[in-house]
Amino acid sequence: MEFFEARLQEIRPTRRLEMAVEVLDWTFESFGSIETDDVREYIETALRIGRDGVAAHHEKLELPDDMLEGFGEVEENADESGTSHLLSAILACSEAPGGLTGEVLYGVLSFCYEGILDREEIPEWTLESEAANRKCVAAIEFQKSKISEYLNHAH
């Protein structure tokens, strides 16, 4: 995946947000049920705002002030495996001072993948253990396909 990191900047900013939201959506769906209501609702609301932002051609996730102010409290309740990674990915999409750059997008993809790793409760993160895990492989394949799709239509 590191091979793609520098190339993500080639994608238009509005398309980078679109890709980030697609990967966040996919990751959230892959998690299955999230038991903690405020964490699940925060993520669902952020994704809905993200999809609306994509439709409006925004360049980053524009969370309202009350969501940004409440982030710390929600993050404190994110005890379920993987949820803190997904919250970090959402915050990265929102708080990127220069917009959702290629570097920030790479961080979002990494947070999403690490969320899957954590959710799968793999005791040791090694290439072998990740390659043996169906969801990890699916996450890598999905992210690679999205990167290729967006690079092929970068402009």
Q: Tell me: the pLDDT tens digits for 81-120?
A: 999 999 999 999 998 777 899 999 999 999 999 999 999 9
Q: At what angle do helices 37-55 and 13-31 cross, to 10 degrees?
A: 150
Q: Tell me: the pLDDT tens digits for 1-60?
A: 556 777 899 999 999 999 999 999 999 999 999 999 999 999 999 999 999 999 999 999
CA distance 58 to 135: 30
**Spatial CA neighbour of 43 closest among 15, 98, 2, 80:** 80
* Domain residue spans of the chain: 2-152
pTM of this prediction? Answer: 0.93
Token pair recorded at residue 69? 């102010």
